[in-house]
Structure 1
Amino acid sequence: MENAYERGKALSERHNPGLEETLEARYGALLPGMPQDLISFVYGQHYDRSGLSLRDRSLATIAALTAMGGQTAPQLRIHIAGGLKAGLTETEIAEAIWQMSLYGGFPAAINALNVALEVFKEDRYGGD
């Protein structure tokens, strides 16, 4: 049986390819083991749980990050891209973001929509 890190690594590579390497390059020297801990805990324990599909977990994460406000833009970008990989449509993502305008406010939702538009463009056209 795989451990949480192995499950998390496999899932994170499908959902957010290169995440561990990015975390290692940015934070590894400052916090040794942090990237592996995050992969194990977030992807190997939480995202890999039964009860919700990865698609649904992605939608819930996008909604939560939207309601938290503009400071979450980098994480929102990662999770919108992952949500598309998990099968969410652009419309579903946009509607979830707009629904959060009731809870996080219109500025938070508009900021998240702007992030979504950038990710959608990158997904369609490879970055430009």
Structure 2
Amino acid sequence: MSEEHHDLTESERYDRGMAVRREVLGDTHVDRATANITDFTREFQEFISRTAWGDVWTRPGLARRERSIAVLSSLIALGHHEEFSMHVRAALRNGLTRDEIAEVILQSAIYAGVPAANTAFRLAQAVFAELDAG
């Protein structure tokens, strides 16, 4: 954790994380995710907001669009399709163009495999079609 984060309470890290989570993923997604929190998932959801969004996504070392590139690449390589579609939307919110997302997927084909990239192209295209229709 950076020095900047050491001085924050868990509550402040959570609040900071929720703010970034909303900026990157959008209110609709975050509202849906928080509405589905149960006693079983509460600690995990709080952990995600506090640690992933409040600690990592707020670090100054990479811009959000660069973080989106890293996330898309990781999700393609690991085959996390549901998360990939969500982060395609986030990448657009973070300033990546559709052409840049296509380049990320193509680059990932070399290192994560053609089948993974094939699926990623299909999922990204579905996201774009949904956005165009909406």
* TM-score normalised over the length of structure 1: 0.87
Unaligned runs of 5+ in 1: none
Contact 1:20–1:36 (CA under 8 A) maintained in structure 2: no
8 A Cα contact 1:12 1:19, kept in partner: no
Measure how far apart 1:109 and its partner are: 0.3
Question: How much has 1:55 moved relative to structure 2?
Answer: 0.8
Residue 93 (structure 2) aligned to one of 85, 89, 97: 85
Q: Which has the larger radius of gyration?
A: 2
Alpha-carbon contact 1:28-1:34 (below 8 Å) kept: no
Percent sequence identity over aligned pairs: 31
Which AA in structure 1 matches 2:16?
R
- Aligned equivalents of 2:71, 2:42: Cα separation in 1: 26
Q: CA, structure 1 residues 23+29, in 2 after alignment: closer, same or farther (shift >3 Å)?
A: farther
Structure 1 residue aligned with 2:12:
3
4+ long deviations beyond 4 Å: none
What is the deviation of 1:25? Answer: 4.0
**C-alpha deviation, 1:19, in angstroms:** 4.0
- What is the TM-score when the length of structure 2 is the normalising length? 0.84
Who is 1:112 aligned against? 120
Which string of whole-angstrom CA distances, capped at 9 and with x for unpartnered residues, describes residues 54-81 of structure 1?
A: 1110111001111122xx1100011110
Cα distance in 1 between the residues matched to 2:43 and 2:56: 18
